[in-house]
Amino acid sequence: MLTPERWVQVERLFHAALERPVLERAAFLDDSCAGDVSLRDEVQSLLDESSPGDDFLEGPPVAIPATTDIDQPQRLIGRRLSAYELHSWIGAGGMGEVYRARDVKLGRDVAIKVLPEQLSTDPERVARFKREATILATLNHPNIAAIYALEESDDVVGLVLELVEGPTLADRLSTGSLPVNEALTMARQAAEAIEAAHAKGIIHRDLKPANIKLTAHGTVKVLDFGLAKAVDHVEVSVTTRPTIDVTREGTILGTAAYMSPEQAR
């Protein structure tokens, strides 16, 4: 039986592994487990039970083909989306693929999040994806990764986002426990970001370590509002107002261990 301390270690590595492309997970576990075969087997068992590229509760119960573009990180590299040239792969999850890109007009690097190809023709997923852009556009806070644009081509819809360099909190936790002062500093910044979102009537719904990044200067950036929900008093246009089709009311979204108290209620 796993002790509570051992389970925390397994869970941290599990979530850190989920944030990596499928083809990179084995090497990540080999390195992180450092010869601890039992630890590696426990984490691998959880990965084997999870759905491809995602936590089993991170999206609605919709069938996704066994082979997805999460296994094909070269799909859009070399493509151009408006003024943005996609150069390299950053990572993927069930809600999207993220690429590093170059803004050729302004001469800066950005992150571009796109839907996996198999989901790009699903009207519900596209609507939710565009809704993320609308939600992000209402937020302006130093601890929330900014959105610059929403771009569309014939077969790609992309969110142009602030490129946040540095590890996720999940990466940081996979190396060991945080000192109390460091943990409090990070928690305060993350709480301020969520408070700013709440002030706009927005609930994140998936605030897990993998969705929090740490910059080299110690700044926390909250990422991925793809499962966020705007409550009734937020002003949104008719085309972006949440509907049953877009949000699937009554469906559990998010990662169970990090579900928002509003959603749990």
59 φ, ψ (degrees, to nearest 5): -145, 175
Tokens encoding 157? 């819809």
pLDDT of residue 230: 62
Q: Which whole number is the average pLDDT over 112-127?
A: 82
Q: Shortest CA distance to 117 belongs to which of 158, 151, 56, 162?
A: 158
Encode pLDDT of 170-197 as tens digits: 888 888 888 999 999 999 999 999 898 8
Encode pLDDT of 197-249 as tens digits: 888 888 777 788 888 999 988 899 998 776 656 665 444 443 333 333 334 44
Q: Which residues contact 121 (CB under 8 A, 6 or more apart)?
A: none
Encode pLDDT of 26-71 as tens digits: 888 888 888 888 888 888 877 776 544 343 334 333 333 333 344 4
31 is catalytic: no
Place of tokens 């493509």: 79
Catalytic residue, candidates 55, 103, 171, 206: 206
pLDDT of residue 229: 64
Encode pLDDT of 140-160 as tens digits: 899 998 889 989 887 788 889
Instruction: Say what the pTM is.
Output: 0.61
Amino acid found at 28 = F
CB 189 within 8 A of CB 220: yes
Q: Which residues contact 102 (CB under 8 A, 6 or more apart)?
A: 84, 85, 87, 108, 109, 110
Give the Cα separation of 143 and 160 in Å (integer): 17
